[in-house]
Structure 1
Amino acid sequence: MTEFRSRAAALLDGAARHVGALGVAALAALVAWVVLSRYALGQTPRWSEELPRLILVWITFIGIISGFLRNSHFRAGILEMLLPDGAPRRVLLALAWLASAAFLLILVVTGWKITLFTWHHQTTAMSLPGGLFYLCLPIGAGLSVLALLLRGGRS
């Protein structure tokens, strides 16, 4: 089962990183185009704020998946400084894992509710469903829960 988990984690991490990289590239290209069109052509595209914001929100929540898989989220490291390796540290790390999972599950549920509530609202510039901005919450948090499960209790 461990080999399956590490393969699945590697696939999920690779997918999240590739999607994130594509999103960052698209964001950079869009921002460059907006700056060029605004200052060189004298016309700002209608979507100049809305589309880059949508992409930025999505790549952020896709990026958290890889952060959970690699355990590379910001940590103060104080636990390692205060407690030697042993049972108390493992208990606190397990509690941190459970707290992360609980928070992510809350994000899945509330993110889905917000997505459904705002789906029929249209964005101003592009007339996209407003829920697209919030759909990244349940997807990113749900895949992050999967990442936590694949990673297990390792810290």
Structure 2
Amino acid sequence: MSAIGVALLAALISWAVFMRWVFGDTPHWAEELPQFVLIWMAMLSAVWCSRRNSHLTAGLLGLWLHSAAARRVVDKLVDLILVIAMLMLVKAGWDLAMLTMKQHTPALQWPVGLLYLSVPVSCSAIALVHLGKLLSFRSTTTDE
């Protein structure tokens, strides 16, 4: 997912630079379209990271909690907190997206709310991922 987004972003920016230097004319979408791609790519990649449990962590939990059972309890608590936080972000992101849906970007004339819509979409998916982990009886941590 991220690789596709990065490749698309590189292609868009390369084309814009090529057009600017070779033809002296920058495409009208040269700033806005890469912003849309970058924001949506980052937000959707966060869902993938949540699913794979690959976010950057300090790894201190294993130093403090030696019991696998205690780590599972803390993991479930973290999943619960994340579900609640993501649901709050879904509501806030949806409200902001709807508030800005009638405003349009200068170059592409796309609704600004499309950018903000990435928040409720990705946060809904993250909430579902963590709800699944919360309801799962399987441990998400590795026992050493």
TM normalised by structure 1 equals 0.81
- Contact 2:97-2:113 at 8 Å conserved across structures: yes
Shift of 1:150: 3.0
Aligned length: 137
After the TM superposition, which of the residue ranges 85-94 and 56-65 deviates more from structure 2? 85-94
| Alignment deviations for residues 67-99 of structure 1 (CA, whole Å, 9 cap, x no partner) | 111001111100011210333322222221112
Give how far 1:105 is off: 0.8
Which residue in 1 is equivalent to 2:105?
123
2:67 counterpart of 1:88:
no
Q: Which amino acid counterpart does residue 123 of structure 1 have in structure 2?
A: T
Letter in 1 for 2:20: R
**Cα RMSD, aligned residues only:** 1.5
1:73 to 46, 51, 55: 55
Q: Is the 8 A contact 2:79 2:133 kept in 1?
A: no
Question: Which secondary structure does the structure 2 equivalent of 1:93 belong to?
Answer: helix
Gapped runs of 5+ residues in structure 2?
Answer: none
Counterpart in the other structure of 1:151: 133
Aligned-partner SS, 1:84: coil
Instruction: Give the equivalent residue in structure 1 for 2:83.
Output: 101
CA deviation after TM superposition for structure 1 residue 23, in Å: 2.7
Q: Which amino acid in 2 is paired with 1:83?
A: L
1:136 corresponds to 2:118: yes
Q: Give the Cα–Cα distance (whole angstroms) in 1 for the partners of residues 122 and 43 of structure 2.
A: 5
Deviation at 1:38, TM superposition (A): 1.3
Counterpart code for 1:24: V
In the alignment, the residues of structure 2 paired with residue 132 and residue 59 of structure 1 have an alpha-carbon distance, to the nearest angstrom, of 13
Q: Which amino acid aligns with 1:116?
A: M
Structure 1: segments with no counterpart, 5+ residues: 1-16
Could you list the structure 1 runs, at least 4 aligned residues long, displaced by more than 6 angstroms after superposition: none
CA deviation after TM superposition for structure 1 residue 57, in Å: 0.2
Distance of 1:41 and 1:128 partners within structure 2: 26
Distance in 1 of aligned mates of 2:3 and 2:130: 22
TM (norm. structure 2) is 0.87
Whether the aligned pair in 1 keeps the contact of 2:83 and 2:128 (CA below 8 Å) is: no
Structure 1 residue 24 corresponds to structure 2 residue 6: yes
Once the two structures are superposed, what CA deviation does each residue of 1:34-75 show, in whole Å capped at 9, x if it has no partner?
A: 111112221111111111001100011111111111001111
Q: Secondary structure, in 3 states, of the residue corresponding to 1:40?
A: helix
